[in-house]
Amino acid sequence: MKEYELTVLIHPDLEADLETPLTKVRDIIKNAGGTIAREDNWGKKKLAYPIKREDFAVYVYMDVELPADAPLKISNTFNITDEVLRYLLVAADLKARKALAEQAAENADNKEEE
């Protein structure tokens, strides 16, 4: 299983009942054999340019673990899912995560010394 970062832009009209489209996204990931390690709702934000005639979208970020064939399955499914305006699925940069964790630990140590 490889780690990925998934950002999904959900249609803004679904903001009132966000759990329904999120459940659909989670099911797509689980049906492809993946697991969700972390989920973070960034809320409704203005888009840089209109997507499918929408100026806003609800951003949801997920850390997921997927088998080798899952990214293609997920991409094909998201492309035909009406609730998803856009998505970005990229392999996680483990070196960058490690560097951020070390930096955070170093900052915490420096605050304790003060």
Mean per-residue pLDDT, 46-50? 94
Query: How many domains does the chain contain in total?
Result: 1
Confidence of residue 111 (pLDDT cuts 50, 70, 90): low
User: Who wins on pLDDT, 85 or 100?
Assistant: 85
How far the first Cα of the chain sits from its last, in Å, is 42
Q: How many C-beta atoms lie closer than 10 Å to residue 68's C-beta?
A: 9
Confidence of residue 113 (pLDDT cuts 50, 70, 90): low
* Non-local CB neighbours of 57 within 8 Å, separated by 6+ positions: 9, 10, 11, 12, 44, 45, 47, 51, 85, 86
Contact assessment for residue 27 and residue 83, using Cβ atoms and an 8 Å cutoff: no
104, with CB counted inside 10 A (0-12, 13-18, 19+), is exposed
Domain that holds residue 24: 2-113
**pTM (2 d.p.):** 0.81
Mean per-residue pLDDT, 76-81? 91
